[in-house]
Structure 1
Amino acid sequence: MAVALSPDQELATKAFLDALSETGAACVSRATAIKFLLARKFDVARAHTLWRQHEATRRREGLIKFEPFEDPLKSELETGKFTILPTRDATGAAIAVFTANKHFPALTTHQTTLQGVVYQLDVALQSVDTQRAGLVFIYDMTDSKYTNFDYELSQKILTMLKGGYPAKLKKVLIVTAPLWFKAPFRILRLFVREKLRERVHTVSAPQLGVHVPRASLPRQLGGHLEPDHSAWLEFCRNCYTNNLNTKLDVVIDDYVISNHIPHVKTQNGLIDAEVPCDMTSDRVARLDNGSDIMHISGDPPYTCDPSPLRHTHGYNGDMKAGHINSGDEDDIDLITRGTWSSGEASPGLSDEECGGGGAGEAPGALLARVRALGRRGLAAEYEDIRARPPAGTFHHAKLPSNLAKNRYTDVLCFDHSRVLLSQLDDDPSSDYINANYVDGYKQRNAFICTQGPLPKTFGDFWRMVWEQGSLVVVMTTRTVERGRVKCGQYWPAAPGQRAVHAGFAVSTEAVDVDDDYTVSHLLLTDLRTEQRRRVWHGQYTRWPDYGVPGGGRAAPVLRFLALVRRAQHRARQELGDAWAGHSRGPPIVVHCSAGIGRTGTFLTLDTCTSRLAAEGVVDVRGAVERIRQQRAHSIQMPDQYVFCHLALLEYAVMHGYLESADLSGFDEENEEESE
């Protein structure tokens, strides 16, 4: 399948080939040129540099001539220590797995191991979709010992992938890293560029299914897949033989690994990938997505299935007496990119794109607009937002086994952004909690928005806090309001008290009480391992349900918001080198009763004040619309939408962006009534 290029990309391809020709390089095909250009966003100079580094790496490591049907490479390939899965992650990236416990440095050379890796990567990279979407590299250290680890080999693989191989390395997931790996990991990360370093992280086995859909993972990594490595090697063999017979270089324009995205069928609300059948060989098949797939005679299609299940960040660290231990539970947040459409995995934004994107308006322009619209006009603007249908589905929340876990029958969580818990006892429904990831300002999945825990979900709530590595919990409701229970008492209220919920113990060490909020300093313990972590719990106590803080005054809320940010910053600093994710740290858990009204208001204020401080502009409507794409129905009432505008003006005055904000007449009827 030839790659369709824009006119500018065609010019870049010609320039790349001309530049290689001028250096006296051997004949390079157009397909190879495109592969290198795709890896560097069609920047000719950078692609040329990558090509030179790639050639140098191949020569230096003996990756020129391959003998895949003879030992030692034949035996190396058959170990299955490295393989390419027949699936993709939700962004469309190919998935490569290196199983550390199958590698024995004393029995194989670096050259042979690298040849086994590159031989398979070359085949995987024949797919145009892989060239475009990139590669996820999983380094599985489960059950591996120090004798399985080869520091120099790991450095060579990482160095090659970061700058000597024509594939976009989307992320590196190091699974179940043992304690002794911590020091080498710190050193290894120094060998990669800072931008790439953010994509190289350790993850625990339960959390891998959050980063990569379980439907795309093999069973040994907690997934649903049973890949056939022998079939993959046969596929590689046919590709290699075909390449030799046609006397082309590594990439053949008209041949790609099948990138058919299977139909998705729903069984009792659960989404399963349907395996395509009846794909005849020796022909080009026209698939549902309109792409042409060429299969080598006799080969079954090697499918790539971007599952619609959410893959997102996670952190699972261990803290004793306030310090992180680098053990098997270490799980570091990572950043991924994708493409967004309604109901898809998640908004495909980078950190830099989150919380911004819109033009925004300066505080003076915001003030003028608020004056012009008045309360009634802002309420009408909110009604326009609320009238739009939800941007996703709620299949998991509606499962019979999960319905009782929802506090309100009409407040459900999106499938595409829901937080997945680790499964317990192979029970598929045990991964459900009414909670969604929501982006913050220039931080993907900065927050977890959830409902006020029910007594039956206390254990799920603390399991989520533990597995996601959250160190700060924000509560914007009281447990009982107007005689109705709004949230369960899921933490001990008084210092010295201790409660146990489904394998987790929560102890309150101290409580600080203010007129507007109460801060509890908690110690969370995983009773299975006796590992502990401190959690800061802030409860804002003067925010009525379905409303805004008393008198509409924002100063106490803004002061509480600043307190939350300071607590998160301190917690992030205490993580030290154990944290390699976003500089703002793990997700902050925010909830009220339903997890949409006051919670959505809090998130809007945080995102908008952060953008105002960084860029000098705000976009309240854009922020609310983005939050609602990840947590349905966020900002529940018109008054909450209005309050966000007034609070931002108050923030602008407090911090010197405005001298004053005169809103006299704001609550009066607009003079120009519609007839």
Structure 2
Amino acid sequence: MEIAFRRSFLKVLRATKAFLDTLTEAGAVCVSRATAIKFLLARKFDVDRAFALWRQHEATRRREGLSKFAPFEDPLKAELETGKFTILPTRDATGAAIAVFTANKHFPTQTTHQTTLQGVVYQLDVALQSLETQRAGLVFIYDMTDSKYTNFDYELSRKILTMLKGGYPAKLKKVLIVTAPLWFKAPFGILRLFVREKLRERVHTVSAPQLGVHVPRASLPKQLGGQLEPDHAAWLDHCKNCYTNNLQNSKLDGGTIDEYVISNHIPVVKPQNGIIEHEVGCDMTSDRAARLGDNGTDMHISGDPPYTCDPSPLRHTHGFNGDLKGRHINSGDEDDLDLSSRGAWSSGEGSPTLSDEEGAAGGGESAGALAARVRALGRRGLHAHYDDIRARAPAGTFHHAKLPSNLAKNRYTDVLCYDHSRVILSQSDPDDPTTDYINANYVDGYKQKNAFICTQGPLPKTFGDFWRMVWEQGTLVVVMTTRTVERGRVKCGQYWPLAAGGRVQHGHLAVTTEAVDHQDDYIVSHLLLTDVRTEQSRRVWHGQYTRWPDYGVPGAGAAPVLRFLQLVRRAQHAALADLGDAWAGHSRGPPIVVHCSAGIGRTGTFLTLDICALRLAHEGVVDVRGTVERVRAQRAHSIQMPDQYVFCHLAILEYAVMQGYLESVDLSGFDEDNDDESE
């Protein structure tokens, strides 16, 4: 590991030297090593691409008058104090910084483009002093809530987007346009023409409730349906301290400072005793400085020095009690990380885009290695693995699910949804905040953040909440892996019309069944979901798998389930194609809603098969146990029974044979070690 670290470190040093040499040849002077690393990080240490970014950055700064700031004097001081643009003190689940531009606070007739852009860049420069922001990038939220046409400045919007996508040394992870009014559709269509095709997947138009799909609610301000009360004045004080400190440091360094990135100046790295040590600026404690290079805690491969201001003014507030280990490792610019499709499974689906935000899995083994391991373990061994997983404490809390007003909305008193990944509805009653609750959780798919929504079978009292969730999340496909009645017991309410031509209404949403297709193993209903208030409609594909017993596994083997799973993926692709330009999100579309009765057993098994099959198709490896653990971390108690865990392994092996990854699988005697077990 130490050798690999040194190789990576030397590679970074060589790239940095090459970049600085290229700048010198181009006539640039007074560019610090730290600034060089910013540009290199933004382009994954590709010197040519980093140099192109630097040239565009220089041109943008000069053209827009962003070289000399006066943040403590008007008009820039007044612009900053409006709070129209701010950096939140939180991050998204991948570690990206979150910037918010509030459109209704912007009045084009009262300010110039130069002043507004200066206010944006001044704050971005401070945010980018964080190494984590350099690595994980930036989420830009354009909040159009309650804005009017007089607040919109097309040319300014184009300039900001153009700068962020190719003229600023930060990775633009997402642009989220929130609550866009109807009049914005035309100019937005034009704006998209300025965005590279691969970048378009990062530009999303969302409603306020849908914003939680992209950014954790705990990381969003209350004005956007979150839980945060950001202090913009405190943030400006932080910016002021950093700016002042950088000016002082530039004098100590003999005036060496980057002309166009004054607030990005960082002291140069100095080698001492063979270890990279750093000068310490403001807010850098001696304890932290002592740790640099000591055990790697704060040392990074890039060899970046600490920042002259607080290196982590932003904080995480999402997921696994704040633990984001591994969620943004190897983050990079997604522009050139397309993976090619493999196998018939991806028919009609296209190639997924690898992104750190999309829940990429780690580890993995080939199909042959999986087969050998399953044979060696046997059913008893796999049951032991499952028991180890099930014995672990929950990965989160259930406070919202346990609120007195929400208890009756849970089908089962012992099947609750995590707080950190729960789906949050818009409040149907402004005076009752608990009307945002539904027993449902987001779960990541294969390289897709929040690919699924796992939920319980709707109760009659929650039919309206269920369809409200489908509508607000933009869902196109609903997967049901239970029958409404099994062994004489009601497992799920009849929340959609059974017969073609039937129509029901729940709250302000009407559900019409346009056609029904009955097959041996499943029933497909083609539904039309309509908001009766606006008369807007959306078609929803509803697939019900009918041969999967509760607490058990399909008796006919995995092939019918795998065929149904492929059918679901094709339905999602077809529905997404019908949307056309109306969908600006992930290439595989909005979350697929999956439910059984409790939303954990058959539902969790379905998700595990989908994730593992897609990974095997695209990477040639699979990690069943790791996938189950990740699903359970977002939807508690998923994979409810040990035989469902065993079925996941056997089904993936059957899929591997179907797709040609294995010629055959010999599992003879696999069940013999379990003859005396009672389960």
Matched, 1:457 2:462: yes
Distance 1:222 1:543, change over 3 A: closer
Distance 1:534 1:345, change over 3 A: farther
Q: What is the rounded CA distance, in whole Å, between the counterparts of 2:100 and 2:476 in structure 1?
A: 31
Structure 1 stretch 390-399 or stretch 655-664: which is displaced more? 655-664
Matched, 1:524 2:534: no
Query: Counterpart of 1:143 in 2: which secondary structure?
Result: coil
Q: What is the rounded CA distance, in whole Å, between the counterparts of 1:286 and 1:431 in structure 2?
A: 46
Aligned residue for 1:138? 141
Query: Counterpart of 1:198 in 2: which secondary structure?
Result: helix
Aligned residue for 2:316? 306
Matched, 1:24 2:34: no
Aligned residue for 2:190? 187
Distance 1:399 1:57, change over 3 A: same
Residue 324 of structure 2 aligns with an amino acid whose one-letter code is: W
Deviation at residue 555 of structure 1 after TM alignment: 2.9
Contact 2:126 2:242 in 1 (8 A): yes
Aligned residue for 2:544? 539
Deviation at residue 168 of structure 1 after TM alignment: 2.4
Deviation at residue 435 of structure 1 after TM alignment: 1.5
Aligned residue for 2:324? 340
Aligned residue for 1:588? 592
Aligned residue for 1:253? 266
Distance 1:662 1:492, change over 3 A: same
Aligned residue for 2:295? none
Q: What is the rounded CA distance, in whole Å, between the counterparts of 2:193 and 2:286 in structure 1?
A: 46
Structure 1 vs Structure 2: percent identity of aligned residues? 79
**Superposition CA RMSD, Å:** 3.8
Contact 1:475 1:592 in 2 (8 A): yes
Residue 304 of structure 1 aligns with an amino acid whose one-letter code is: L
Contact 1:378 1:642 in 2 (8 A): yes
Aligned residue for 2:425? 421
Q: What is the rounded CA distance, in whole Å, between the counterparts of 1:283 and 1:105 in structure 2?
A: 37
TM-score (norm 2): 0.79
Aligned residue for 1:178? 181
Contact 1:210 1:310 in 2 (8 A): no
Q: What is the rounded CA distance, in whole Å, between the counterparts of 1:92 and 1:475 in structure 2?
A: 34
Residue 253 of structure 1 aligns with an amino acid whose one-letter code is: I
Deviation at residue 542 of structure 1 after TM alignment: 1.7
Contact 2:440 2:454 in 1 (8 A): yes
Q: What is the rounded CA distance, in whole Å, between the counterparts of 1:523 and 1:541 in structure 2?
A: 22
Query: Counterpart of 2:140 in 1: which secondary structure?
Result: strand
Query: Counterpart of 1:416 in 2: which secondary structure?
Result: coil
Residue 416 of structure 1 aligns with an amino acid whose one-letter code is: H
Aligned residue for 2:3? none
Contact 2:464 2:509 in 1 (8 A): yes
Aligned residue for 1:395? 399
Query: Counterpart of 2:145 in 1: which secondary structure?
Result: coil
Deviation at residue 474 of structure 1 after TM alignment: 0.9
Aligned residue for 2:341? none
Aligned residue for 2:301? none
Residue 411 of structure 1 aligns with an amino acid whose one-letter code is: V
Q: What is the rounded CA distance, in whole Å, between the counterparts of 1:423 and 1:175 in structure 2?
A: 17
Describe the superposition over 1:587-608 as per-residue Cα deviations: whole angstroms up to 9, x where unpaired: 1111111111111222222223
Residue 124 of structure 1 aligns with an amino acid whose one-letter code is: A
Describe the superposition over 1:13-68 as per-residue Cα deviations: whole angstroms up to 9, x where unpaired: 44443443344322123332333333334444433332222112111222222344
Aligned residue for 1:124? 127
Matches within 5 A, 1:6-85: 8-10=11-13, 12-85=15-88
Contact 1:459 1:502 in 2 (8 A): yes
Contact 2:320 2:395 in 1 (8 A): no
Which residue, 365, 388, 404 being the options, matches 2:408? Answer: 404
Contact 2:202 2:586 in 1 (8 A): no
Matches within 5 A, 1:78-227: 78-227=81-230
Q: What is the rounded CA distance, in whole Å, between the counterparts of 1:381 and 1:284 in structure 2?
A: 45
Deviation at residue 465 of structure 1 after TM alignment: 1.0
Structure 1 stretch 456-465 or stretch 490-499: which is displaced more? 490-499
Query: Counterpart of 2:443 in 1: which secondary structure?
Result: strand
Aligned residue for 2:647? 643
Query: Counterpart of 2:61 in 1: which secondary structure?
Result: helix
Aligned residue for 1:573? 577
Aligned residue for 2:488? 483
Q: What is the rounded CA distance, in whole Å, between the counterparts of 1:92 and 1:114 in structure 2?
A: 25
Deviation at residue 119 of structure 1 after TM alignment: 2.5
Contact 1:86 1:302 in 2 (8 A): no
Contact 1:91 1:339 in 2 (8 A): no
Contact 1:310 1:415 in 2 (8 A): no
Structure 1 stretch 134-143 or stretch 9-18: which is displaced more? 9-18
Structure 1 stretch 139-148 or stretch 125-134: which is displaced more? 125-134
Listed as ranges, the gaps of 5+ residues in structure 2 are 1-7, 269-281, 292-297, 299-305, 332-353
Aligned residue for 1:328? none
Residue 480 of structure 1 aligns with an amino acid whose one-letter code is: V
Which residue, 476, 500, 508 being the options, matches 1:503? Answer: 508
Deviation at residue 635 of structure 1 after TM alignment: 1.7
Residue 40 of structure 1 aligns with an amino acid whose one-letter code is: R
Contact 2:415 2:598 in 1 (8 A): yes
Deviation at residue 511 of structure 1 after TM alignment: 2.2
Query: Counterpart of 2:194 in 1: which secondary structure?
Result: coil
Distance 1:164 1:513, change over 3 A: same
Residue 57 of structure 1 aligns with an amino acid whose one-letter code is: T
Describe the superposition over 1:413-465 as per-residue Cα deviations: whole angstroms up to 9, x where unpaired: 22332222223415332332222222223322221111111222222211111
Q: What is the rounded CA distance, in whole Å, between the counterparts of 1:613 and 1:346 in structure 2?
A: 23
Deviation at residue 534 of structure 1 after TM alignment: 1.6
Aligned residue for 2:443? 438
Distance 1:478 1:194, change over 3 A: same
Deviation at residue 499 of structure 1 after TM alignment: 2.5
Contact 1:66 1:115 in 2 (8 A): yes
Structure 1 stretch 593-602 or stretch 17-26: which is displaced more? 17-26
Q: What is the rounded CA distance, in whole Å, between the counterparts of 2:12 and 2:329 in structure 1?
A: 28
Q: What is the rounded CA distance, in whole Å, between the counterparts of 1:286 and 1:489 in structure 2?
A: 64
Describe the superposition over 1:69-115 as per-residue Cα deviations: whole angstroms up to 9, x where unpaired: 55544444444433333444444433322222333444543333322
Contact 1:310 1:345 in 2 (8 A): no
Matched, 1:466 2:477: no
Structure 1 stretch 41-50 or stretch 638-647: which is displaced more? 41-50
Distance 1:423 1:294, change over 3 A: farther
Q: What is the rounded CA distance, in whole Å, between the counterparts of 2:537 and 2:501 in structure 1?
A: 16
Q: What is the rounded CA distance, in whole Å, between the counterparts of 1:184 and 1:664 in structure 2?
A: 63
Contact 1:100 1:149 in 2 (8 A): yes
Residue 522 of structure 1 aligns with an amino acid whose one-letter code is: L
Deviation at residue 160 of structure 1 after TM alignment: 1.0
How many positions carry a matched residue from both structures? Answer: 611
Residue 554 of structure 1 aligns with an amino acid whose one-letter code is: A
Structure 1 stretch 85-94 or stretch 399-408: which is displaced more? 85-94
Deviation at residue 153 of structure 1 after TM alignment: 2.2
Contact 1:86 1:227 in 2 (8 A): yes
Q: What is the rounded CA distance, in whole Å, between the counterparts of 1:565 and 1:457 in structure 2?
A: 27
Query: Counterpart of 2:380 in 1: which secondary structure?
Result: helix
Listed as ranges, the gaps of 5+ residues in structure 1 are 256-281, 312-337
Matched, 1:385 2:385: no
Residue 449 of structure 2 aligns with an amino acid whose one-letter code is: R
